[in-house]
Structure 1
Amino acid sequence: MMLSSGLVFMSDTRTNAGLDNISTFKKMTIWEEPGERVLTLMSAGNLATTQAVVSLLDERSKLPEDRTPSLMKAPSMFQAACMVGDTLREVIKGLREGGQRADGAFDATLILGGQIAGSPPRLFLIYPQGNFIEAGDDTPFFQIGEIKYGRPILVRAYDPDLSFAEALKLLLVSFDSTLKANLSVGAPLDYFCYTTDSLEKKHVGRVEVDNAEFQAISTQWGNALKQALDTLPDVHLNTN
């Protein structure tokens, strides 16, 4: 999510291969070179694909610059998004050629956001084909994975001038709606609030399912919805 003060990221940690095979894996990766750049990558889709993409990007960031392109040397966020897209396409192609060929079996979708010194923060949604789109005034936030339950809340309540605390509260309400409706999404929830021009990883945390603040938000949101329903105009049934 893009805010006037920076960027906010939140991801769940549940992966599943059926209801009897549910695991917890971190879906957010942050690369930092203090004072120079901070990049955040979030993933949804095939776990083998996303882990391979993150591992390749991480390994290549540690190699000499003349050997391979690196996220930590990319001159702009646009070039970083190109590298991530190329890596995603490379991994999916390799997995398909080396294993089963079912359409979409190895697909994954990524969100890349961050800032490189000298340029403003930017946010990208990267598709399995390696192409991407960028967030802007008309589309200030991206969602990947299971989006339909939490999206209406973001659409109605998003404001670019939200504080980080307010944005996190909004995201928790959005995730709470998704958690209650879909078993494929689950806590704990990881978050990162990036302040524009800070060029450092600072506000990073995890919200466990039994977190007192999260439970209070969930309960009060449910009660508020019931109270709001009671205040709406009555619907009159047609008697014809």
Structure 2
Amino acid sequence: MTYCVAMRLEAGLVFLSDSRTNAGVDQVSTFRKMTVFENPGDRMLVLMSAGNLSISQSVRQIIADRSAVGGRSIWTASTMDEAAQIVGEAVRTVYERDAKSLREFGIDFNVSLIFGGQIKGERCRLFQVYSAGNFIESHNENTYFQIGEAKYGKPIIDRVISTTTPLDEAAKCALISMDSTLRSNVSVGLPLDLLIYEADKFSVTRFVTIDEKNQYFHMIRTTWGKQLKAVFEGIDDPVWNAATDTSPNALSTMESRSQPVRVAPPAAIAAPNADPAPLQTLAEQNRPRQQH
């Protein structure tokens, strides 16, 4: 599995991918998931992949082969939309060639792609390409795409990223998103590829491969965990069954007590005269007992 994230901002684009692939706990390998198609001064395009590795490598090879023989290719496409169509056509070509054989061996045709960049004469654009070869484009309402193990790294992006976010701040957010994913899922792993593209440069402006020795990413991993714990500890515990308007942190109030759905035990084993214990408040639980 893998995790890739890309962000489209007013200032440019941010791409981040891991390099873990595995076919079981004893078959873990490293394959880079990011490919750059760059013609300085004319276009800068990035392709990232997740899913079945053989499928994604076949798609990338078809794109590269078509680029080499001339004609309609991502090197000659006049718009990013046309280039995304070419990527989608490559996915469908692999599907028509391999899907039936894979299905006979119980293997689903599973591939997801993020494709983005800028062609001269257009703004920066970002697309997500699906297994059917169809795609969607990022707009201001949704400034980023994720593929692979997306769920762990999504909350920080939703809270932080907007179209006006500066590139370095977006890169920091992407790395925190990746760190959250690395911590929660062993199918995602180092090294990482991080590419920052400044709008209208038409060439890669910043790129780094990040391993466990990278100073900044080590700081992110350490600091983010400490800061999260500090914020968590700074939030008050809930107050149960508080009187109305007596606590700003009431989880429940005296006027709105609720009960769980209870299943009564069989009559033969039910304890005599046993009634459910009253639900306590935190204040009752913590109140010192009076001496008699």
Alignment TM-score > 0.5, same fold? yes
1:120 is aligned to 2:120: no
1:83-123 CA distances to partner (integer Å, 9 max, x unpaired)? 10111121123112334436762310000001111111110
Q: Once the two structures are aligned, what percentage of the paired residues are identical?
A: 42
Once residues 134 and 105 of structure 2 are traced to their aligned partners in structure 1, the CA distance between those partners, rounded to angstroms, is 21
CA RMSD after TM alignment? 1.4
TM-score normalized with structure 2 length: 0.78
1:31-81 CA distances to partner (integer Å, 9 max, x unpaired)? 01111111100000000000011111111111132xxx2110111100111
Residue identity opposite 1:169 in structure 2 = K
Matches within 5 A, 1:60-139: 60-65=66-71, 69-101=72-104, 105-139=108-142
Once residues 121 and 225 of structure 2 are traced to their aligned partners in structure 1, the CA distance between those partners, rounded to angstroms, is 44
Once residues 164 and 134 of structure 1 are traced to their aligned partners in structure 2, the CA distance between those partners, rounded to angstroms, is 20
Once residues 10 and 78 of structure 2 are traced to their aligned partners in structure 1, the CA distance between those partners, rounded to angstroms, is 24
Q: Residue 280 of structure 2 aligns to a residue in which SS?
A: coil
CA contact (8 A) 2:176 2:221 kept: yes
Once residues 43 and 107 of structure 2 are traced to their aligned partners in structure 1, the CA distance between those partners, rounded to angstroms, is 33
1:25 is aligned to 2:31: yes
Q: After TM superposition, what 4+ stretches of structure 1 lie above 6 angstroms from structure 2?
A: none
Once residues 130 and 112 of structure 1 are traced to their aligned partners in structure 2, the CA distance between those partners, rounded to angstroms, is 12
TM-score normalized with structure 1 length: 0.94
Once residues 106 and 156 of structure 2 are traced to their aligned partners in structure 1, the CA distance between those partners, rounded to angstroms, is 32
Once residues 101 and 92 of structure 1 are traced to their aligned partners in structure 2, the CA distance between those partners, rounded to angstroms, is 14
**What corresponds to 1:234 in structure 2?**
237
1:114-136 CA distances to partner (integer Å, 9 max, x unpaired)? 11111111100000011110000
**What corresponds to 2:244 in structure 1?**
none
Once residues 227 and 104 of structure 1 are traced to their aligned partners in structure 2, the CA distance between those partners, rounded to angstroms, is 45
Once residues 130 and 12 of structure 2 are traced to their aligned partners in structure 1, the CA distance between those partners, rounded to angstroms, is 23
CA contact (8 A) 1:77 1:114 kept: yes
- Of structures 1 and 2, the one with the larger relative CO (CA 8 A, separation 6+) is 1
1:147-169 CA distances to partner (integer Å, 9 max, x unpaired)? 00000111011132332221111
**What corresponds to 1:54 in structure 2?**
60
Number of residue pairs aligned between Structure 1 and Structure 2: 237
Unaligned 5+ segments in structure 2 are: 1-6, 241-278, 282-292
Unaligned 5+ segments in structure 1 are: none
Rg comparison, structure with higher value: 2
**What corresponds to 1:16 in structure 2?**
22
Residue identity opposite 1:58 in structure 2 = A
